[in-house]
Amino acid sequence: MLQKAILKISSLSPQSMISFLAAWKYWSVPKDHLLVREQTVSDYLYFIQKGAARIYYYKNGKEITEWIALDEQFFLSITSYFQRTPSHLIIQTLEPSEVYGISYNDFMALADRHHDIEKLLRKMITASLILSQERMDSIQFETAHQRYDRLLKTSPNIIQRVPLSYIASFLGITLETLSRIRSSR
């Protein structure tokens, strides 16, 4: 699955693919496992083969969900990973998960040696920037109903897998507003 997900982003030569896949580590982790703790440097870009994870932070004593990753998605604390600084984000699994990770040092070394891996890295960063912009646009310009509809369209089974409080936080709405939206259907 990891190889298939990589190829959806960019093609790699057979030699580059072998080298790239060999650099990834695999973990089978339980629910509530912390992949990144607050104020630690995020060393890995992750791929969740099976499972669910959330990226969140604390603001005024409340947990704010920034991202939810489900099966076959890449995710990371982008600022910490690339700037090598402690993360204000926390990454936690929401269910038992199968996770792959590639360290910053391994990815950068491979990108230096293989032009097609460097191109993959550029495409991954670009996709992450676009997702961030789309999320910001959604919060600024869409209604709560529209954000919820978009979430269900892109992740139809998220409601069965992720606590509603995390979903409400991710959508930038209260749990009560989410309940009203759901009951109006």
Per-residue pLDDT of 102-119, as tens digits, reads 999 999 999 999 999 999
Domain extent listing, the chain: 2-141
181 near 144, Cβ under 8 Å? Answer: yes
Q: How far apart are the first and last CA of the chain?
A: 35
**Mean pLDDT for the stretch of residues 90-99:** 98
Instruction: Give pLDDT tens digits for 27-57.
Output: 999 999 999 999 999 999 999 999 999 999 9
pLDDT at 185: 72
41 backbone dihedrals φ, ψ, rounded to 5°: -80, 130
**Which of residues 139 and 107 earns the better pLDDT score?**
107
**Mean pLDDT for the stretch of residues 115-139:** 95
pLDDT at 184: 87
Q: Is 168 a residue whose pLDDT tops 80? A: yes
Which token pair is 3?
A: 């190889």
Which token pair is 102?
A: 């590639």
Per CATH, domain 2-141 is 2.60.120.10: yes
Contacts of 130 (CB under 8 A, 6+ apart): none
Q: Which of 21, 51, 36 is nearest to 89 (CA)?
A: 36
**Mean pLDDT for the stretch of residues 62-90:** 96
Owner of token pair 């209604």 = 143
The Cβ of residue 137 has, within 10 Å, a number of other Cβ atoms equal to: 10
**Mean pLDDT for the stretch of residues 148-176:** 94
Average pLDDT, the chain: 96
